[in-house]
């Protein structure tokens, strides 16, 4: 399966230079709220993978979670992946500060295109993706290129988008014009989980951490469907037979909501007052 070059994957813009990219994130993400969040994530990973040999931090950013994982899973091989040079440099420095130079050097940090790549890595017992920053709108070329590489996923995401939008139209509390239901966004987010699934052994753990405005039981159906499609655990009704079997690659284990001021990361980027209160949700799934 062909993969995209880093240049194609990030389009015409660079995360290192983006307004809400490297410098912005580093200035925010080391406060007490984010540190507590990353500790909760590390605890969730350790809960399900006490004897893990390999754990991959997908889009590891500045290494905040890796440092917590190194402390929670001292005997586990840790691998951090990111496409930002600045973030990986920051991760190496942060790991040295938090866990010491010797242990920091034992963590593999690799630069690669996201969300589509093909690296020769050992099969992981767990792959974690925290606070994904999906930038589908960089220059319009990203989705077009990815849809040619993964035509089935693109077709399935269009089906999912139509069904989820139908749910949104029927719900008086939902704005069906919201672009979070667009096929390109669903497709792009799902490819990240698909990529994670390639990295983890069958039966291994997939963990994704998303900003959330409240507990999952409070979400409207359209948002539940959107989230679960991107996690590979929900399928549109019209998918049948072999397509249905291929399209499902994760089985939910546990989802836990944490109230946290980290939700204000979203407010800072969007200006939406809806994102002044809330927190994050940790979704644990088994790779099937």
Q: Which domains does the chain have, with CATH numbers?
A: 6-287 (3.40.50.150)
DSSP letters of 175-217? -TT-GGGSHHHHHHHHHHHHHHHHHEEEEEEEEEEEEESS-GG
pTM over 0.75: yes
pLDDT at residue 9, as a whole number = 45
DSSP letters of 57-113? EET-TTSHHHHHHHHH-TTSEEEEEES-HHHHHHHHHHHHHHH-HHHHHTSEEEE--
pLDDT at residue 2, as a whole number = 40
Residues linked to residue 205 through DSSP beta bridges, in sequence order: 126, 286
Quick: pLDDT tens for 72-106: 999 999 999 998 888 999 999 999 999 999 999 99
Average pLDDT over residues 180-197: 91
Average pLDDT over residues 120-131: 95
Q: How far is CA 211 from CA 52, 192, 214, in A?
A: 26, 16, 9
How crowded is residue 80: how many other Cβ atoms within 10 Å of its Cβ? Answer: 26
Quick: pLDDT tens for 13-69: 456 767 777 788 888 888 999 999 999 999 999 998 878 999 999 999 999 999 999
Residue 26, token pair as written in the block: 């580093």
Q: How far is CA 132 from CA 69, 122, 128, 135, in A?
A: 18, 23, 10, 9
Q: Is the pLDDT of residue 8 over 80?
A: no
Q: Is the pLDDT of residue 192 over 60?
A: yes
Q: How far is CA 34 from CA 37, 245, 277, in A?
A: 5, 37, 15
Instruction: Please report where in the chains the tokens 């950013």 appear, as a residue.
Output: 61
C-alpha–C-alpha distance, residues 41 and 21, integer Å: 22
pLDDT at residue 41, as a whole number = 97
- Determine contact, residues 62/35, Cβ cutoff 8 Å: no
Residue 223, token pair as written in the block: 């948002």
Percent of the chain with pLDDT strictly greater than 70 = 89
Quick: pLDDT tens for 172-183: 777 656 678 889
Confidence of residue 157 (pLDDT cuts 50, 70, 90): very high
pLDDT at residue 139, as a whole number = 55
């Amino acid at each position: 399966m062909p993969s995209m070059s880093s240049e194609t994957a990030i389009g015409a813009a660079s995360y290192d230079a983006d307004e809400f990219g490297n410098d912005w994130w580093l200035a925010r993400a080391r406060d007490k709220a984010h540190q507590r969040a990353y500790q909760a994530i590390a605890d969730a990973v350790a809960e399900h993978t006490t004897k893990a040999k390999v754990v991959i931090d997908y889009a590891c950013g500045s290494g905040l979670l890796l440092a917590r994982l190194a402390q929670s899973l001292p005997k586990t091989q840790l691998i951090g992946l990111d496409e930002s040079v600045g973030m990986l440099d920051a991760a190496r420095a942060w790991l040295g500060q938090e866990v010491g130079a010797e242990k920091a050097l034992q963590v593999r940090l690799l630069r690669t295109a996201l969300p589509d790549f093909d690296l020769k890595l050992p099969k992981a017992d767990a792959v974690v993706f925290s606070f994904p920053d999906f930038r589908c709108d960089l220059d319009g070329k990203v989705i077009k290129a990815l849809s040619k590489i993964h035509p089935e996923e693109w077709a399935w995401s269009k089906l999912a988008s139509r069904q989820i939008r139908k749910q949104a139209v029927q719900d008086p509390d939902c704005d069906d014009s919201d672009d979070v239901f667009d096929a390109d966004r669903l497709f792009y987010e799902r490819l990240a989980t698909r990529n994670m699934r390639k990295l983890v052994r069958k039966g291994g753990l997939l963990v994704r951490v998303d900003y959330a405005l409240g507990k999952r039981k409070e979400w409207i159906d359209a948002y539940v469907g959107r989230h679960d499609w991107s996690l590979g655990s929900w399928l549109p009704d019209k998918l049948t037979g072999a397509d249905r079997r291929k399209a499902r690659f994760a089985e939910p284990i546990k989802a836990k909501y944490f109230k946290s001021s980290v939700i204000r990361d979203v407010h800072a980027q969007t200006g939406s007052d809806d994102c002044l209160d809330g927190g994050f949700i940790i979704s644990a799934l088994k790779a099937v």
